[in-house]
């Protein structure tokens, strides 16, 4: 079962934030200052961000991500726990951690084995000097 997704998108070329929640556009991020603060911890230019909810006991089937035009995906667990399986490697992401995840062209899946919904902030950013110093595969 695929998770129900709530997402926020930043369109850099249009001069500001464009947000959609359950496919309803909202004019700005002023109602979400905590999300902006979390996203700004990584000093890099944001291409897009969204919030993903994976229900308790649910899974995201194995799939491959397509190219992100050079962007790096950062996962920030906000609530709950779960596992991410990339090829043969299993990762347990905990609340408060930031993960740079390389899933472009690599099969991966996720499972929420916890009793509550897992909520992640996902941020696609362009590589920056700070990110290159902290992410060995860049």
Residue-wise pLDDT tens digits, 73-111: 888 888 887 789 999 889 898 888 888 888 888 899 988
Q: How many residues does the chain have?
A: 138
The two structure tokens encoding residue 110: 């996720």
Could you give the maximum distance between any two Cα atoms of the chain, in Å?
Answer: 41
Q: Which domains does the chain have, with CATH numbers?
A: 5-134 (2.60.120.10)
> Which phi and psi angles does 35 have, rounded to 5°?
-65, -45
Confidence of residue 3 (pLDDT cuts 50, 70, 90): very low
- pTM of the predicted model, to two decimals? 0.73
């Amino acid at each position: 079962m695929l998770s129900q997704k709530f997402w926020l998108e930043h369109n850099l070329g249009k001069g500001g934030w464009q947000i959609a929640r359950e496919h309803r556009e909202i004019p700005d991020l002023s109602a979400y200052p905590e999300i902006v603060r979390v996203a700004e911890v990584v000093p890099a230019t944001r291409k897009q961000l969204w919030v993903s909810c994976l229900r308790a006991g649910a899974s995201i089937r194995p799939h491959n991500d397509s190219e992100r035009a050079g962007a790096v995906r950062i996962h920030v667990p906000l609530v709950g726990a779960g596992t991410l399986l990339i090829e043969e490697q299993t990762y347990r992401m905990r609340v408060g951690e930031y993960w740079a995840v390389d899933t472009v062209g690599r099969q991966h899946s996720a499972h929420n084995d916890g009793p509550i919904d897992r909520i992640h902030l996902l941020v696609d950013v362009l590589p920056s000097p700070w990110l290159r110093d902290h992410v060995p595969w860049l």
